[in-house]
Amino acid sequence: MRHIKLTLFGIIALMSVLWIAAEPGVFQPNGFFALRSAAVQYTGVLAIAAMSVAMMLALRPRWPERWMGGLDKMYRLHKWLGVTVLVVAVIHWLWAKGPKWAGNWGLLERPARAPRAPISDPTEAFFASLRGTAESVGEWAFYAAVVLIALALIRVVPYRWFYKTHRLVAIAYLLLVFHTVILLNFADWLTPLGAAMTLLMAGGTFAAGVVLLRQVGAARQVSGRIAELTYYPGVKALETIIDMSAGWPGHRAGQFAFAMSDASEGAHPYTIASDWHPDHPRITFITKELGDHTNRLKERLKMGQEVRVEGPYGCFTFDDDCRHQIWIGGGIGITPFIARMKHMAMRDGTPDWPPGQSINLFHATGDVDELALARLSEDASSANVRLHLLVSARDGRLTGARIRDAVADWREASLWFCGPADFGAALRRDFAREGFPVQKRFHQELFDMR
């Protein structure tokens, strides 16, 4: 989370410094309309910069994943960049439109414009000839972007509609790039601000093209066929085992992948619930009925059906040198821990974790399926993991205090959480109050790609 905030505020701070360096006269008192012109320019720069970075993150690039802590964190940054674009673009629009409305209502009088000197530079003259078009295009692109970003943020909109409409943001972005190129103060293109804007918009334009051509992650997609399907009615979860074709690079326990069984629905992210065996190339997904798409999977998926799998992604891979680990899986958040336990059972004679490391797994669930829980107990026993099973109706809620009471060495442990975001946030705050170094040793999968 810290890197998300650093990156977001870093982008805003960097573009602010570059803009002030390009427009040092902004702090000179030149009246309201000079302030309005500066505010329109500044908010426009911030909005297109944030939108450009968001577009590039939409490609799911691998190079920043380790620093950010995983693709899940990158998508959280993508979301907050979208929120930033929405807020700053609305402010930009109000600065552009508000004084005009005030003038029409007789509340504000615009001073007479001084005669403009002839433009000698042919490029600047060409840009000036397109100002009216750029203003109109930008206004309508702004309206479209606001609606599309709002649809992405409103969770009640079904995922399939989000998937179909969110690509249109790329078109709005390209129109806003045209708007920015024409309307940014021409002299600013020859400053460091102009260089930064050029790089950002070039990267964003490339990303928009990839999105519109539906090639996001295409180089990392591998086909597979469904080999086994097992439904657990007690927990309303479907286990899908897929035979992977050549090309899957393998994965580590705790990572996830995007799987697509229906092109009209698009790819959905799922945590991989199996270890990787190169000589037996299979992966397992466990999906719980949590929405319109997952509710239909048990009827739609068939044995032998082809599935496109993209990945692997994620850094929730249990890497640390702590002698003790505490795992907390809430509901379907148990899946990365299942994969890790299978890996540990396979590597029992040749461990790739610290010698003597002890692990306590807490699984809190509101649903019960005896077969699923029996398999979980078997996995824990095979991996020498101490399992603490809490069924909410029987055992009450899992709290930080219950975890600390059960694990004597919790202060020296690392915590690995996967489950409902609110539950994870509450545990993080609880352990922070007890002096636990949550910044360093509380690992949370932000498994929310929207």
How confident is the model over 143-153, as pLDDT tens digits?
Answer: 999 999 988 88
Inside any domain, residue 297: yes
Same domain, 60 and 136: yes
Residue 387: what pLDDT? 97
Does pLDDT of 110 surpass 80?
A: no
What would the DSSP string read from start to end of 134-190? HHHHHHHHHHHHHHHHHHHH-TTS-HHHHHHHHTHHHHHHHHHHHHHHHHS-GGGGG
Q: Which of 313, 332, 348 is the last residue of a domain?
A: 313
How would you list the strands of the sheet with 306-313, edge to edge?
A: 268-271, 256-260, 306-313, 221-232, 237-244, 282-288
The Cα 217–Cα 253 span in angstroms is 21
Does pLDDT of 328 surpass 90?
A: yes
Inside any domain, residue 142: yes
CATH number of domain containing 280: 2.40.30.10
Residue 32: what pLDDT? 83
Closest Cα to residue 253, out of 324, 332, 335? 335
Same domain, 225 and 346: no
Same domain, 235 and 171: no
Inside any domain, residue 318: no
Question: Strand, coil or helix: what is 257?
Answer: strand
Inside any domain, residue 449: no
**pLDDT averaged over every residue in the chain:** 91
Same domain, 358 and 427: yes
Q: In sequence order, what are the residues at sequence separation of 6 or more whose Cβ sits closer than 8 angstroms to the Cβ of residue 349? A: none
Same domain, 180 and 75: yes
Same domain, 248 and 200: no
Inside any domain, residue 450: no
Q: Which of 180, 212, 244 is the last residue of a domain?
A: 212
Residue 161: what pLDDT? 79
The Cα 246–Cα 254 span in angstroms is 22
Residue 296: what pLDDT? 85
Residue 29: what pLDDT? 65
Residue 113: what pLDDT? 67
Does pLDDT of 1 surpass 80?
A: no
Inside any domain, residue 319: no
Q: Evaluate whether 151 touches 143 at the Cβ level (below 8 Å).
A: no
CATH number of domain containing 431: 3.40.50.80
In total, how many domains does the chain have? 3
Residue whose tokens read 């890996």: 343
Same domain, 373 and 419: yes
Q: Which of 313, 345, 378 is the last residue of a domain?
A: 313
Same domain, 58 and 205: yes
Does pLDDT of 436 surpass 90?
A: yes
Inside any domain, residue 175: yes
The Cα 74–Cα 1 span in angstroms is 10
Number of DSSP helices (H) and strands (E) in the chain, helices first: 16, 11
Same domain, 20 and 105: yes
Instruction: Count how many residues are written for the chain.
Output: 450
- pLDDT mean over 354-372: 91
- pLDDT mean over 212-224: 93
Its domain, for residue 428, covers 324-444
List, for residues 276-323, the tens digit of each pLDDT value: 988 889 999 999 887 777 788 888 999 999 999 999 999 999 999 999
Inside any domain, residue 31: yes
State the DSSP H helix or E strand holding residue 240, giving kind and residue range, or none if neither.
Answer: strand 237-244
- The packing angle between helices 32-57 and 168-183, to 10°, is 140
CATH number of domain containing 10: 1.20.120
List, for residues 220-262, the tens digit of each pLDDT value: 999 999 999 999 998 889 999 999 988 899 999 999 999 988 8
Residue 269: CA count within 13 A, CB half-sphere: 19
In the DSSP assignment, the letter for residue 420 is -
Same domain, 208 and 229: no
Same domain, 144 and 27: yes
Same domain, 151 and 235: no
Residue 102: CA count within 13 A, CB half-sphere: 13
